Structure 1
Amino acid sequence: MTTTLKYFQPQEVIEYPDCGSWGQGKYLLDKASAYALEMALATKRPLLVKGDPGLGKSYLARAAAAKLKRKFIAEVININTEGQDLLWRYDPVARLNDAHAGIKDDDKLNPKHYLNPGVLWWAFGWNSAASQYNDVCRHKIYCPQTSNDGALENGIVLLIDEIDKAEPSLPNALLEVLGNGGFEVPLLGETIGKNSAADSKQALTPPLVIITSNDERELPAAFIRRCLVLHLHIDEDVEGWLLERANVHYDDYQCSETVKRLAARQLIADRQEAERHGTVKAGLAEYLDLLAALDEMTDRCLQDKDRDDHQESLLADIQHFVLRKAL
């Protein structure tokens, strides 16, 4: 029996436009990803996407936003990111500087004027965050980039990228907002999320939160329990898996199937060698980079066998720059 999903379909190719530093592209949605996204929408749970680097974990969120016609917001985590930063950023230094500059008005020095909404505030309470940022903040330090192809009334897709880069305190700091769909801002005496009067319309469409991890660090059990978990991996038929995705991005004129197969087989060989040495394995991102280089570095006048011959020769000369990074 075939199940038809409401929003996503397995093997669907989703196109997405530019969004800030995120370039345009296409995403081939596999069956597991389609069902995981559908379940995340149904349960209103965040989706934790785990897997090796370069498999398209981050772009799954970008594709989901494009398909749902939602606003897309992304926050890339690093070792210095703190959980509080994702909720709000309070700037006491700016307040002190204003006081030293001679501002005496108690209302102007009210701490609320130095409170900047973080990415979770924007995602769970867009109207409240916009009001705080535009009308209250004296020193604006953060406003997320959003996609122009999505409509706010359709909701938001929030990507929290590479959460395993942070200290364990960060995912622990997200337990309330992920578990309850909201959080308190004590300085304002305000609830952000489903109980917020300012965002009652948006609250009908909770954000789809997608969190990625390269499994570089174990995440707290309490955090994982609040998430659905999708494991992205390359199928056992590695060559077929790579070719299927290559054909989404490059037609046979740009790179013939023969050339795509040669590049795929080289990647497979290099992955096996990297595994033997315990080094970083190349993935889909490197494979697509290689095909992009073959296409861009080949004269458009070359066609058919001449084009294939040139690209096969070129492949031998450039493949190690992409595929053998750790050997």
Structure 2
Amino acid sequence: MTPAVPVAIEKLRQLQPGQVLRLEPMEGLPPSKHRWKQEEIDAAILALAARRPLLVRGEPGTGKTQLAHALASALGWALHGATIHARFEAQDLLYQFDAVRRLSDAQACKLREPGWDEKQYWQPGPLWKAFGWETTEGYGAGREWVGGETVAGGEAVAPAGHVVLIDEIDKADSDLPNSLLEVLGSRRLIIPPLAEPLVASEARWPLIVITTNEERELPAAFIRRCVVLTHDLPTGPAYADFLVEHGRTHFGPDQAEAGQAMHEDTLREAAAQLLQDRDQTVAAHLPPPGLAEYLDLLRALQELAPGNPKVQSEWLGKLNRYAYLKHRVEGEGAKALRQNRPNLGESAA
């Protein structure tokens, strides 16, 4: 079996900062474009070489989730994702067992029917798939993955490797990262229906990408066992340049269809307005708009007036407050916003 990790590291070394990768839909994530940064490439190489998870931290909308999508696409690996929520349990990363369905089938006397199999009630989670792909056959929908190759009979070919996305881990309580410490430390999984523990080999260790918006502090012991990539954002005019660069990536001449590219003036105007609104919301101690809101607005402008910067600018003046100002501002913060944006009237207060 070809060692996946050395091959993957060599692929990552071939990536160039500034290179744009088109991303096809994968694991429920929409198509997009990713512009590589050197720090992303270096951090991913370190995580793979050290067999450690890659913890990506930063404010919402900075492309943390997309990085996992881009890494899976660049490596040709399968992507298995889990978005964390308040009721998420560590076990869900390994498996889920549909006890309700099994009870219903038992009451309906289906457990004695020909072809019945206990495996159907077990759904492999992201880590089970990544640690033991070959063992998931027959369990739930365990062998299904977006982007997989098939052979003549329609049977899925085993992926060359696996990227596991654990998205927004800060939404869970400390039990989840603490449970992951044991799993990632021992590098073995205990799956109840399997006779033997799953152990990931050194040569085929999966790349585990964990994202956090830092809404809750993670345990120090957990952070120490991760490779950490922080998406620091520039400030002032440099932040506007950062936005425009990403605007070009998605809507510039090299990416958009002929005649539909966003004009540089429109990109700059939208960035300047976001920078102003961002400063005001930060002063009002509210979550500021960022890259995600900027790209949403550009996408709308392109849809409303493709290739027409004059009409796009007119729409920008009408729509930017709905894209950027999403939180109710009161007191002095509202007064400052109205002074800078007279078209807001009283709506910001």
- Please give the per-residue CA displacement for 1:103-132, whole angstroms capped at 9, x wherever unaligned: 676xx9997664332221011111112x25
Distance 1:194 1:240, change over 3 A: same
SS at 1:279's partner residue?
Answer: coil
Aligned mates of 1:20, 1:88 — CA distance in 2: 17
1:210 paired to 2:217: no
Q: 1:168 aligns with which of 169, 174, 179?
A: 174
Q: Tell me the equivalent position of 1:316.
A: 317
- Please give the per-residue CA displacement for 1:20-55, whole angstroms capped at 9, x wherever unaligned: 532212111112111111111111111010110011
Q: Which amino acid aligns with 1:224?
A: I
Q: How far did 1:5 drift?
A: 6.3
SS at 1:154's partner residue?
Answer: coil
Aligned mates of 2:316, 2:170 — CA distance in 1: 35
Aligned pairs for 1:142-181 (under 5 A) are 145-148=145-148, 152-181=158-187
Q: How far did 1:152 drift?
A: 4.0
Q: Tell me the equivalent position of 1:231.
A: 230
Q: Tell me the equivalent position of 1:188.
A: 194
Aligned mates of 1:231, 1:128 — CA distance in 2: 35
Aligned mates of 1:45, 1:65 — CA distance in 2: 16
- The TM-score with structure 2 as length reference comes to 0.79
Does the 8 A contact of 2:77 with 2:163 survive in 1?
yes
Distance 1:104 1:160, change over 3 A: closer
Identity of paired residues, percent?
38
Which deviates the most, 55-64 or 223-232?
223-232
Q: Tell me the equivalent position of 1:297.
A: 304
Aligned mates of 1:156, 1:15 — CA distance in 2: 19
- Please give the per-residue CA displacement for 1:72-124, whole angstroms capped at 9, x wherever unaligned: 2211111111111111123333443344334676xx99976643322210111
Does the 8 A contact of 2:164 with 2:209 survive in 1?
yes
Aligned mates of 1:115, 1:5 — CA distance in 2: 35
Cα RMSD (Å) of the superposition?
A: 2.8
Q: 1:256 aligns with which of 256, 263, 277?
A: 263
Q: Tell me the equivalent position of 1:27.
A: 34
Report which structure shows greater RCO (CA 8 Å, sep ≥6).
1
Q: Tell me the equivalent position of 2:242.
A: 241
Aligned pairs for 1:118-129 (under 5 A) are 118-129=125-136
Q: Tell me the equivalent position of 2:49.
A: 42
- The TM-score with structure 1 as length reference comes to 0.84
Aligned mates of 2:77, 2:141 — CA distance in 1: 24
Does the 8 A contact of 2:187 with 2:199 survive in 1?
yes
SS at 2:262's partner residue?
Answer: coil
Q: Structure 1: any 5+ residue segments left out of the alignment? A: 134-139, 196-202, 301-306
Q: How far did 1:153 drift?
A: 4.0
- Please give the per-residue CA displacement for 1:160-197, whole angstroms capped at 9, x wherever unaligned: 111111122112221222223321224433211326xx
Which deviates the most, 277-286 or 15-24?
15-24
Q: How many residues of Structure 1 are paired with residues of Structure 2 in the alignment?
A: 304
Q: 2:78 aligns with which of 71, 74, 77?
A: 71
Q: Structure 2: any 5+ residue segments left out of the alignment? A: 1-10, 151-156, 254-259, 330-349
